[in-house]
Structure 1
Amino acid sequence: MQKQIQSHAQTFSEAQGLFISDQHIVATPDVRGGKPRIAGRRITVADIALWHLHQNWPIDDIVMELGLTHAEVYAALAYYYDHRAELDQNEADEIADVEALKQQCPSKLQAKLAGRG
Structure 2
Amino acid sequence: MLSEFITKTPGVCGGRPCVRGHRVRVLDIALMSERQGKSPDEIAHMYSLDLSQVHAALAYYFANMDEIREDMRRSLELVEQLRSEAIPDS
Could you say whether these structures have the same fold, taking a TM-score greater than 0.5 normalized by the shorter chain as the test?
yes
RMSD: 1.8
Q: Percent identity?
A: 33
Structure 2 residue ranges without an equivalent (≥5):
none
User: Aligned partners of 2:39 and 2:77: how far apart in 1?
Assistant: 29
TM-score by length of 2: 0.85
Structure 1 position 101, deviation (Å):
4.6
Provide the residue aligned with 2:11 in structure 1. Answer: 30
Q: Which has the higher contact order (CA 8 A, sep 6+)?
A: 2
Question: Which structure has the larger Rg?
Answer: 1
Q: Structure 1's 48 and 89: CA in aligned 2 closer, same or farther, altered over 3 A?
A: same
Structure 1 position 74, deviation (Å):
0.3
Structure 1 residue ranges without an equivalent (≥5):
1-8, 10-20
Q: Deviations over 1:39-96 (max 9, x none)?
A: 0000000000001111011111111222111110000000000000111012112322
Write 1 or 2 for the structure with the bigger share of helix: 2
Provide the residue aligned with 1:73 in structure 2. Answer: 54
Tell me the matched-pair count.
Answer: 89
